[in-house]
């Protein structure tokens, strides 16, 4: 059908096609965007900075580039995760839990594709509110942490922790101080956030 339309010069009247150009009926649902693409689109739209890392070496290299770019090479870092501290102990950073530190370094629970938000809990924040923590964030996540909705994330947290659920579960979804506030991000604390996404699938 597409070939005949092109041959006779019939204009496209709003037909929907897949990525191969095959016509899809107008009443068929549009193909769903993969969660990784959807997350990247929404995360960048929210003002986040994203760096994809194929392996651990690339992650360390990208981390070093962030430090250089922002002149954070010899800074104090708020980091409560011992594993992350060990991964970056070769740097000149000073790791502590000082709220006046230059930046907050952490992992996360999940990456929510339909909003471009990062789901965190007391496992990362302790008993601190987002507003208590430094303005600058570097978050390390894995591609296996990409999920569609916050509801799915809460179910997975519930399963993983059984009866010892973490508290302080929240999302970080505003990454640009100058972004116009609307109903969806009202009350959220903007963070200058870098996401290092490590491929693990």
- The predicted pLDDT at position 189 comes to 77
- The predicted pLDDT at position 175 comes to 87
**Could you read off the pLDDT of 28-62 as tens digits, one per residue?**
666 788 999 999 999 999 999 999 999 999 999 99
In a domain, 147, yes or no: yes
Q: Which of 21-30, 68-77, 90-99, 163-172 has the lowest mean pLDDT?
A: 21-30
**Residue 98 contacts residue 76 (beta carbons within 8 Å):** yes
Q: Of 119, 148, 198, whose CA–CA distance to 35 is shortest?
A: 148
E strands, 46-186, in order: 49-53, 76-78, 94-96, 103-106, 110-112, 117-120, 136-142, 146-147, 170-172
In angstroms, rounded to a whole number, what is the distance separating the alpha carbons of residues 20 and 38? Answer: 19
In angstroms, rounded to a whole number, what is the distance separating the alpha carbons of residues 173 and 150? Answer: 12
Q: Which residues lie across from 134 on neighbouring strands? A: none
φ, ψ (nearest 5 deg) of residue 20? -95, 0
In a domain, 20, yes or no: no
In a domain, 18, yes or no: no
Q: How big is the chain, counted in residues?
A: 201
Domain hosting residue 157, numbered range: 34-198
In a domain, 5, yes or no: no
Is pLDDT of 181 > 90?
no
Count of structural domains within the chain: 1
pTM of the model: 0.81
In a domain, 2, yes or no: no
- The predicted pLDDT at position 191 comes to 93
Mean predicted lDDT score pLDDT of the chain: 85
In a domain, 40, yes or no: yes
Q: What is the CATH number of the domain that holds 155?
A: 3.40.50.10420
In a domain, 10, yes or no: no
List the end-to-end C-alpha distance of the chain, in Å, as a whole number: 39
In a domain, 88, yes or no: yes
């Amino acid at each position: 059908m597409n070939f005949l339309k092109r041959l006779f010069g019939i204009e496209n009247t709003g037909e929907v096609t897949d990525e191969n150009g095959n016509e899809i009926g107008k009443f068929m649902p549009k193909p769903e965007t993969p969660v990784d693409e959807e997350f990247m689109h929404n995360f960048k739209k929210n003002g986040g900075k994203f760096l994809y890392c194929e392996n651990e070496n690339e992650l360390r290299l990208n981390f070093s580039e962030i430090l250089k770019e922002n002149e954070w090479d010899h800074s104090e870092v708020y980091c409560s995760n011992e594993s992350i501290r060990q991964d970056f102990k070769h740097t000149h950073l000073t790791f502590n839990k000082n709220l006046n530190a230059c930046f907050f370094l952490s992992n996360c629970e999940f990456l929510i594709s339909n909003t471009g938000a990062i789901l965190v809990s007391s496992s990362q924040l302790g008993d601190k509110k987002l507003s208590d923590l430094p303005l600058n964030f570097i978050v390390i996540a894995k591609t296996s942490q990409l999920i569609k909705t916050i509801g799915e994330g809460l179910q997975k947290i519930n399963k993983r922790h059984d009866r010892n659920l973490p508290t302080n579960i929240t999302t970080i979804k505003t990454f640009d101080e100058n972004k116009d506030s609307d109903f969806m991000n009202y009350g959220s604390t903007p963070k200058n956030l870098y996401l290092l996404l490590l491929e693990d699938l």
